[in-house]
Amino acid sequence: MILEEDLRHYVHLLERGYTPEDALLVTATKYPGFTHEPTATAQPSDVPVVPTEQVVEANYNPYAPSPEIPQPLEELKSKGKKAWEFVQSKVEDIDVQRLRPSRKTTAITAGVAGVALVVILLFVLANQGGAAVEGTWMNDQGQRFTFREDSTAAWEDDRSAQWSHSGDELVVLANHQGTDFTHTLQVEISEDGRAMWWLPTSIQDNDGTEYTDAPGYNPSCSMLIKSDVASTLDKYYANDDSYLDETPNWCDLEGE
């Protein structure tokens, strides 16, 4: 029996493993008007029957029903959407007037926020204390001291001394004639950052000898001015009087 082209196509799909329903759908798409009772047509007896599982693995069937594959992302989206709808429904039920903050509550909240902002600002400024010391300074004897950004310093005859600054304490580790000394100084800086007062509180060598306790040693306070203001000793004395009012009470400037 010679089969019509559309029926031949239908049977060929059955041979490839399509279900009768899917074979009918594909054939009707290619040959409009094609109809056939799936149960009325059997596969030819001379065509070996191949297990459906093997055919599915070997041939992709775009019309076959998709297997149930878990879709975790879609499930998450669905659950998230439901959760958001639930939250929205609860928000709509809230009495906004009842939750509106009073003026007193608003003022307290603003005050707390303001205090927190001030604390944060002070903390930031405290951690920037080292930056205030950076630069080159001159004392009233014309000596220059340089504090670099990389925590190295030019301290008297040591050009590679080390320094650190925290709060009102400046620590300098310098070498003098082959011996390391740790200088600890109390410091305060002027409002414009151009003048600095310091007072040695400790000078120790590697053996722990405290030189400020030596007989006849009397630590004295000094005022230093930054080199952009006092590039020469004459300019130092031309500007030092402008900072006298800011001299800290722990600093007794000799000769002033």
Single-letter residue type at 107:
A
CA distance 49 to 238: 111
> Helices 20-30 and 5-15, interaxial angle, to 10°?
140
Map residue 85 onto helix, strand or coil.
Answer: helix
pLDDT tens-digit map of 72-93: 445 555 666 666 676 666 656 6
CA distance 172 to 181: 8
3-state helix, strand, coil in the chain (%, to 5): 40, 20, 35
Question: Which one, of 214, 234, 216, lies nearest residue 225 by Cα?
Answer: 234
Q: Cβ–Cβ contacts within 10 Å for residue 26, how many?
A: 17
| Under 8 Å between Cβ of 142 and 233 | yes
Question: Which one, of 18, 16, 68, lies nearest residue 38 by Cα?
Answer: 18
Question: Which one, of 136, 123, 126, 125, lies nearest residue 166 by Cα?
Answer: 126
Q: What pLDDT is attached to residue 122?
A: 46
Q: What pLDDT is attached to residue 139?
A: 93
DSSP structure string for 89-123: HHHHHS-HHHHPPPHHHHHHHHHHHHHHHHHHHHH
Sign, CA dihedral 94-95-96-100, equals negative
CA distance 211 to 185: 13
pLDDT band at 54 (very low <50, low <70, confident <90, very high): very low
Residue 201 main-chain phi, psi, to 5 deg: -110, -15
Among all chains, which residue has been given the structure tokens 């998709």? 66
Q: What pLDDT is attached to residue 81?
A: 64
Percent of residues, the chain, with pLDDT higher than 90: 35
Region of residue 231 (phi > 0: left; psi between -120 and 50: alpha; otherwise: beta): alpha
For 23-47, what is the mean pLDDT? 69
CA distance 201 to 182: 11
| Under 8 Å between Cβ of 229 and 239 | yes
Whether 69 shows a pLDDT value over 70: the answer reads: no
Interior angle at CA 240, CA 235 and CA 246, nearest 5: 150
pLDDT tens-digit map of 134-162: 999 999 988 999 999 999 999 988 999 99
